[in-house]
């Protein structure tokens, strides 16, 4: 079983749509959670950290459910520029700074 | 503020040759990390420096890989001798502290 599991997609949505991505992680001791965005053949860019209380940054909302070991990312009013791969990332509790990546969910926003 | 930079952006070498990758972290970032993505797989952790000290090298595949960070500034990752399975994208990241790591553009390594 992978340490971080994501639906690979692709999610193909029209501009203006709302889309949600989910992620599960296997180690209940993980303490830090992130969403990164990666454009084709580029580096991962930090989109947002995910806090226990949930957090919002403009059109993006992240939620964490520790009991279910589940993280989500909601994107409202999708833009063409949101097309990318979204990586769910958690820290390895045995080595705080070691990040564990999911394989990513691909989003395609069409006009 | 300049981001993490990596050199070269691409490298094509033959099996058995040596390659050295370089990473310059964001100025002031004591923490430096190397990650790797091989074809069709997730990005995987290789190692972590705090200043010039290796904090965690549990992800290094084998002793053909050597990372250094002399003086606590830039870092190099040497692969010697390279094997076919070493092909992939090598990312460097840095952070001040905590867990928000910022990634460089990566070095795409192809071993033929």
User: pLDDT tens digit string along A31-41?
Assistant: 889 999 999 99
User: pLDDT tens digit string along B7-51?
Assistant: 999 999 999 999 999 999 999 999 999 999 998 899 999 999 999
Closest-CA residue in chain A for B105?
A43
Kindly provide the b/e burial profile for residues A83-107, where b requires at least 16 CB atoms within 10 angstroms of the residue's own CB: bbbbbbbbbbeeeebbbbbbbbbbb
**Does the pLDDT value for residue B1 go beyond 70?**
no
Report d(CA B41, CA A101) in Å as an integer.
Answer: 10
Q: Which two three-digit tokens encode residue B85?
A: 């399975």
Mean pLDDT value of segment B77-99: 93
Residues of B in contact with A49 (CB under 8 A): 99-100
**Distance, in angstroms, between B15 CA and closest chain A CA?**
24
pLDDT of residue B99: 65
State the average pLDDT for chain B: 94
Residue B96 and residue B30 in contact, taking contact as beta carbons nearer than 8 Å:
yes
**Does the pLDDT value for residue A72 go beyond 70?**
yes
Which residues of B fall below an 8 Å CB-CB distance to A? 31, 33, 35, 41-45, 48, 55-56, 58-59, 91, 95, 99-106
pLDDT of residue B105: 97
Would you call B58 and A98 a contact, using CB atoms and an 8 Å cutoff?
yes
Residue given tokens 């595949």 in the structure block: B61
Report d(CA A38, CA B18) in Å as an integer.
Answer: 29
A 10 A CB-CB count for B84 gives: 10
The rounded percent of chain B whose pLDDT value lies above 90 is 89
Q: Which residues contact B91 (CB under 8 A, 6 or more apart)?
A: A43, A44, B6, B34, B35, B36, B37, B43, B103, B104, B106
């Amino acid at each position: 079983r992978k340490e971080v599991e994501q639906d690979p997609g692709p999610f193909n949505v029209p501009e203006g749509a709302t889309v949600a991505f989910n992620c599960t992680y296997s180690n209940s001791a993980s303490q830090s959670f992130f969403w990164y965005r990666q454009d084709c053949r580029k580096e991962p860019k930090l989109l947002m950290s995910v806090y226990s209380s949930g957090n919002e940054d403009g059109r993006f909302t992240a939620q964490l459910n520790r009991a279910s070991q589940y993280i989500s990312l909601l994107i409202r009013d999708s833009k063409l520029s949101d097309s990318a791969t979204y990586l769910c990332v958690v820290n390895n509790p045995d080595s705080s700074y070691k990040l564990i990546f999911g394989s990513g969910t691909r989003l395609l926003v069409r006009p | 503020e300049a981001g993490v930079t990596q050199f070269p952006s691409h490298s094509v070498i033959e099996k058995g040759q040596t390659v050295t990758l370089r990473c310059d972290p964001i100025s002031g970032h004591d923490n430096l990390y190397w990650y790797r993505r091989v074809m069709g797989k997730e990005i995987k952790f290789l190692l972590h420096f705090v200043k010039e000290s290796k904090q965690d090298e549990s992800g290094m595949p084998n002793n053909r890989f050597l990372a250094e960070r002399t003086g606590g500034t830039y870092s190099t990752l040497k692969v010697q001798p390279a094997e076919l399975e070493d092909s992939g994208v090598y990312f460097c990241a840095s952070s001040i502290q905590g867990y928000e790591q910022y990634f460089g553009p990566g070095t795409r390594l192809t071993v033929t």
